[in-house]
């Protein structure tokens, strides 16, 4: 009864809150008002139900926290997926099956499907790149798409002015991205996390404004068209063939990214990033060069964005500043956050869900950003570790335990 | 010289709006060390509510100052309600979480609110009626400073004075300062910290709503996206002045407004935003604690 009263109060509050925006719609040119009373009903009923779920979820979260505090390692329990993947036999089988599926994909489905898949894969690599900066090193970067733009424009302009090919530009794009990362990162990485977020946001906007206004350099808002597709030893390809080709390049890039970030994560520098994310002061006290470690994470993330930017330009053959808005940065960030910060598998899954779902559920694509926003909030409150959490590397001294049991 | 004065007053007007919004950032940051990313959206919702109320009232035959007052008051009420709810839903459950969590939650909330307004209303730029009448006594100097600018400057000034009095002399103001200094100590002496934080959000939202209504009637249009860029600018202003400091936010807002105005007037108006962000980066490199900020030592 108390619950119902509470939910009723909440839903009344939200009806009040959403009243002007949801119900009233003014048309000043025709001097008419449209009253949409039905929306009150939707809001009221929706919030009534949601508030029950909300309370239940909060209570459960608190109970979990209590349990984690009283028991020693209730929280660090690996999830079922991790347990499954730990098993080497299942692991190899899963990877092989997945690889087989990925390789035959363009032959089974049509070009349209491959195109969608390519854009999803672009986001996978972007997500994994940002994962280095945000997930591993804990540096919130809200202007990530700027580096993506740098890569795309680097290829488009080099191709336009000097006729450089895709394969020459791929490393160049990565280099440009990394260079921008270092130049921007150097002065601002001494700042605390939240300042960094706002400065990177500003930097993202600056890049877009410059691209829009400096017409002599970037051709302004009209963008650059007729960018060369990647070539294969001078072979002529039709659109379907070239899509398949780009698809395979993309797959190779994803695999490369997974291998590199996977290796980096467990290297000396990767450990330093994670330590820095957890506690800066303790980390510096342990003798880690903070500026250099942060800078390397920032530059490496930027590097990947630059590289994918080249591929993006080659895939769409047309780029303009409108492709590089803050919303793109927000989407990439939500991929990392929803998938699970620091977890490679999580980020891949996050990208697939976030990019492919709206693509196939057209009716709901209008609500895409709304749902992303809500999901980011809910994820932070109820499952900050993401869909697939990153497991901590732990070292256990197994020998001692067995011995003590024997005694 | 006249051009200079025009730019100066334009910058002052713009800067005082930035200052109004920046105060919301600074007050919230001062208490819970959180960049309330969705603050710009509160400002946008304030402007939108005012737009809707104005539209309805005009159609039902009201006019003149009565519209301005009703629309302004309702905008403030709704912004406060949104600010309060925002804090309760998105930030309170994360009070003890690691720093990155509330920040991401705030970004999510900002995206959510933008798209909520976009879907519930429209993505078009809507014409906002100019509510501020042209005063007769302003005629002789109207080519330098118009009535809207004067109203904005005066409103901002009055709001600032009221806010200063509120923080300095009222009970809630004292509680806010105590919470800012030491949250657990404030709790020990019997201050309801949760209530103080809620109040901070409410006051900040009210200031943002005032800014929203003023800007909307000054520029003459509203859109679901206006909160984003205004929010970033206001945050820049808050950082410029030294985040957490109330007079700092005002000074930062004015400095930013003047810089933008002069840069747009003498250099190029296309790159207005670039100058603002450039200034932010410069300040953060040279003096990370801002103009009025104190450097605090980090303790383990």
Whether residue B13 contacts residue B152, with contact meaning beta carbons closer than 8 Å, is answered with: yes
Q: What is the pLDDT of residue B76?
A: 93
Mutate to test the interface with A, among B99, B107, B234 (most CBs of A within 10 A): B107
Q: Are B127 and B119 in contact (CB under 8 A)?
A: no
Whether the Cβ atoms of residue B232 and residue B64 lie closer than 8 Å to each other: no
- The residues facing B126 across adjacent strands are B222
- End-to-end Cα, chain A, rounded Å: 58
Computed over every residue of chain B, the mean pLDDT equals: 84
Strand partners, A26: A33
Check residue B300 and give its pLDDT.
47
Q: Give the residue on A whose Cα is nearest the Cα of B289.
A: A191
- ipTM > 0.85, yes or no: no
Q: CB distance A380–B108 less than 8 Å?
A: yes
Distance from the Cα of B101 to chain A's closest Cα (Å) equals 6
For the stretch A216-221, contacts whose Cβ atoms lie closer than 8 Å and that sit 24 or more positions apart, written own/partner, are A217/A157, A218/A153, A218/A157, A218/A321, A221/A320, A221/A321, A221/A322
Query: CB of B116 within 8 A of CB of A370?
Result: yes
Provide the shortest C-alpha distance from residue B143 to chain A (in Å): 29
**Distance to chain B for A284, nearest Cα, Å:** 12
Closest residue on chain A to B77 (Cα):
A17
Contacts of B191 (CB under 8 A, 6+ apart): B175, B178, B179
Record the pTM: 0.85
- What does chain B look like in DSSP terms, one character per residue? -HHHHHHHHHHHHHHHHHHHHHHHHHHHHHHH----TTHHHHHHHHHHHHHHHHHHHHHTT--THHHHHHHHHHHHHHHHHHHHHHIIIIIGGGTTS-THHHHHHHHHHHHHHHHHHHHHS-SSPEEPP--S---GGGGGGTTTS-HHHHHHHHHHHHHHHHHHHHHHHSHHHHHHHHHHH-HHHHHHTT--HHHHHHHHHHHHHHHHHHHHHHHHHHH-EE-TTHHHHHHHHHHHHHHHH-TT-HHHHHHHHHHHHHHHHHHHHHT-STTHHHHHHHHHHHHHHH-TT-SSPPP-----
**d(C-alpha A164, C-alpha A176), whole Å:** 15
Give dist(CA B285, CA B283) in Å, integer: 5
Whether residue B52 and residue A195 make contact (CB cut-off 8 A), yes or no, is no
pLDDT recorded at residue A74: 45
Q: Across the interface, do B93 and A25 touch by the CB < 8 Å criterion?
A: no
A380 CA to chain B: closest CA distance, Å?
Answer: 6
pLDDT for res B44:
92
Mean pLDDT of all residues in B153-167 = 89
> Are the C-beta atoms of A139 and A294 separated by less than 8 Å?
yes
Measured between beta carbons, the chain B residues lying within 8 angstroms of A376 are 104-105, 107-108, 111
- Tell me if B160 sits within 8 A of B211, measured CB to CB: no
Mean pLDDT of B227-234: 85
pLDDT at B81: 94
Nearest to B104 among A58, A61, A376 (CB): A376
CB nearest to A373's CB, from B99, B101, B109: B109
Give tens-digit pLDDT for B84-118.
999 998 888 888 877 778 888 888 899 899 989 98
* Element housing A33 (H / E): strand A32-35
Location of structure tokens 């002061």: A281
Instruction: Kindly state the DSSP code that residue A138 receives in the 8-state scheme.
Output: -
Band of the pLDDT at B41, cuts 50, 70, 90?
very high
List, in order, residues 6 or more apart from B225 with CB less than 8 Å away: B44, B114
Residues of chain B with pLDDT > 90: what percent? 20
How far is CA B245 from each of CA B20, B28, B136, B164, rounded to the nearest angstrom?
13, 11, 38, 12
What does B170-183 look like in DSSP terms, one character per residue? SHHHHHHHHHHH-H
Count of C-beta atoms within a 10 Å radius of residue B245: 21
3-class DSSP assignment, residue A308: helix
**Conformational region of residue A31, where left means phi above 0, alpha means psi within -120 to 50, and beta covers everything else:** left
Contact between residue A308 and residue A122 where contact means Cβ atoms under 8 Å apart: yes
Q: Which of A4-18, A99-113, B183-197, B226-240 has the lowest mean pLDDT?
A: A99-113
Query: CA-to-CA distance for A51 and B74, rounded, in angstroms?
Result: 26
Is the Cβ–Cβ distance between B241 and B291 less than 8 Å? Answer: yes
Q: What is the pLDDT of residue A78?
A: 57
Question: Quick one: CA torsion of A393, A399, A402, A405, rounded to 10 degrees?
Answer: -100
> What is the H or E stretch that residue A24 is in?
strand A24-27
Residues 6+ apart with CB under 8 A from A152: A173, A309, A310, A312, A313, A319, A323, A324
pLDDT of residue B86: 92
Token pair, residue A325, equals 């808005």
User: What pairs with residue A24 in β-bridges?
Assistant: A35
A124 closest CA partner among A389, A350, A333, A386: A350
Q: Which residues of B253-262 are buried (b: 16+ CB within 10 A; e: fewer)?
A: bbbbbbbbbb
Q: Is the dihedral of CA B282, B285, B286, B288 positive or negative?
A: positive
Q: What DSSP designation does A229 have?
A: P
Query: Cα B102 to the chain's mean position, in Å?
Result: 20
**Which residues from B are below 8 Å from A21, CB to CB?**
45, 48-49, 52, 116-117, 120-121
Query: What's the rounded Cα separation, in Å, for the pair A357 and A362?
Result: 9
Among B34, B55, B101, beta carbon nearest to A26: B55
Nearest CA-CA partner of A48 in A4, A113, A109, A86:
A4
**SS3 of residue A177 by DSSP:** helix
Contact flag B105-A376 (C-beta cutoff 8 Å): yes
d(CA A181, CA A64): 40
Is B107's CB within 8 Å of A369's CB?
no
Q: Measured between CB atoms, which of B99, B117, B285 is closest to A187?
A: B285
- Taking CA A182 as the corner, what is the angle to CA A178 and CA A186, rounded to the nearest 5 degrees? 165
Tens-place pLDDT, residues B43-83: 999 998 998 888 888 888 777 778 888 888 999 999 999 99
Largest CA distance in chain B: 63
Percentage of chain A lying above the pLDDT 90 cut? 8
**Cα angle for residues A95, A99, A100 (degrees, 5° grid):** 120
Q: What is the pLDDT of residue A18?
A: 85
What is the phi-psi region of residue B296: left when phi exceeds 0, alpha when psi lies from -120 to 50, beta otherwise?
beta
B263/B7 Cα distance (integer angstroms): 10
> H-helix or E-strand containing A281?
helix A280-285
The mean pLDDT values, 10 residues at a time, for chain A of 407 residues are 85 86 79 81 87 87 79 54 70 81 78 84 92 87 89 88 82 91 79 74 84 80 78 68 84 90 88 86 86 88 91 87 85 85 85 81 76 85 76 63 56
Contact B94 A381 (CB under 8 A): yes
């Amino acid at each position: 009864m108390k619950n119902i009263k509470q939910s009723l109060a909440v839903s009344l509050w939200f009806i009040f809150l959403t009243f002007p925006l949801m119900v009233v719609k003014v048309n000043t040119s025709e001097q008419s008002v449209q009253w949409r009373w039905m929306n009150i009903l939707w809001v009221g009923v929706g919030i009534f139900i949601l508030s029950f779920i909300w309370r239940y979820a909060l209570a459960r979260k608190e109970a979990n926290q209590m349990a984690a505090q009283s028991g020693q390692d209730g929280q660090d329990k690996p999830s079922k997926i991790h347990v499954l993947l730990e098993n080497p036999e299942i692991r190899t089988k899963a990877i092989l099956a997945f690889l087989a599926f990925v390789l035959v994909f363009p032959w089974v489905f049509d070009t349209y499907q491959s195109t969608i898949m390519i854009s999803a894969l672009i986001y996978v690599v972007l997500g994994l790149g940002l994962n280095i900066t945000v997930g591993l090193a804990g540096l919130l970067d809200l202007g990530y798409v700027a580096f993506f733009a740098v890569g795309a424009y680097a290829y488009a302009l080099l191709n336009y002015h000097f006729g450089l090919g895709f394969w020459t530009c791929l490393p160049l794009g990565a280099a440009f991205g990394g260079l921008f990362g270092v130049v921007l990162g150097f002065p601002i990485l001494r700042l605390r996390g939240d300042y960094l977020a706002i400065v990177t946001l500003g930097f993202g906007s600056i890049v877009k404004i410059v691209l829009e206004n400096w017409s002599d350099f970037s051709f302004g808002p009209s963008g650059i068209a007729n960018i060369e597709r990647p070539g294969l030893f001078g072979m002529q390809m039709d659109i379907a063939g070239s899509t398949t080709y780009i698809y395979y390049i993309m797959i190779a890039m994803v695999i490369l990214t997974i291998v590199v970030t996977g290796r980096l994560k467990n290297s000396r520098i990767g450990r330093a990033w994670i330590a820095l994310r957890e506690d800066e002061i303790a980390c510096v006290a342990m003798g880690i060069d903070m500026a250099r470690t942060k800078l390397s994470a920032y530059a490496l993330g930027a590097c990947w964005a630059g590289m994918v930017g080249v591929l993006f330009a080659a895939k769409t053959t047309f780029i303009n500043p409108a492709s590089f808005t803050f919303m793109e940065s927000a989407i990439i960030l939500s991929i990392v956050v929803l998938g699970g910060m620091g977890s490679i598998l999580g980020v891949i899954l996050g990208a697939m869900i976030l990019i492919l779902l709206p693509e196939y559920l057209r009716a709901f694509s209008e609500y895409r950003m709304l749902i992303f926003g809500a999901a980011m909030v809910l994820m932070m409150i109820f499952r900050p570790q993401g869909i697939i959490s990153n497991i901590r590397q732990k070292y256990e001294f197994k020998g001692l335990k067995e011995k003590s049991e024997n005694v | 010289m006249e051009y200079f004065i025009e730019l100066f007053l334009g910058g002052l007007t713009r800067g005082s709006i930035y200052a109004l919004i920046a105060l919301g950032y600074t007050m919230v940051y001062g208490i819970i060390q959180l960049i309330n990313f969705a603050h710009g959206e509160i400002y946008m919702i304030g402007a939108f509510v005012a737009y809707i109320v104005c539209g309805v009232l005009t159609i039902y035959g009201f006019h003149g100052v009565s519209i301005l007052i009703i629309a302004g008051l309702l905008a403030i009420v709704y912004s406060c309600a949104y600010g309060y709810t925002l804090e309760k839903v998105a930030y309170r459950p994360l009070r003890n979480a690691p720093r990155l969590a509330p920040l991401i939650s705030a970004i999510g909330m900002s995206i959510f609110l933008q798209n909520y307004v976009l879907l519930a209303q429209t993505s078009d730029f809507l014409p906002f009626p100019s509510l501020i009448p042209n005063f007769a006594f302003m005629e002789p100097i109207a080519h330098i400073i118009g009535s809207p600018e004067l109203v904005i400057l005066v409103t901002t000034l009055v709001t600032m004075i009221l806010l200063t009095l509120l923080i300095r002399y009222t009970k809630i103001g004292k509680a806010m300062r105590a919470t800012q200094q030491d949250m657990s100590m404030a709790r020990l002496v019997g201050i309801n910290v949760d209530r103080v934080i809620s109040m901070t959000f409410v006051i900040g939202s009210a200031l943002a709503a005032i800014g929203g209504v003023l800007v909307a009637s000054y520029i003459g249009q509203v859109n679901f996206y206006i909160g984003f860029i205004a929010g970033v600018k206001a945050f820049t202003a808050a950082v410029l002045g030294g985040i957490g400091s109330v007079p700092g936010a005002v000074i930062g807002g004015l400095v930013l407004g003047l810089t933008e105005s002069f840069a747009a007037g003498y250099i190029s108006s296309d790159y207005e935003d670039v100058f603002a962000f450039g200034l932010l980066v410069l300040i953060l490199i040279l003096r990370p604690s801002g103009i009025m900020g104190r450097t605090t030592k980090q303790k383990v």
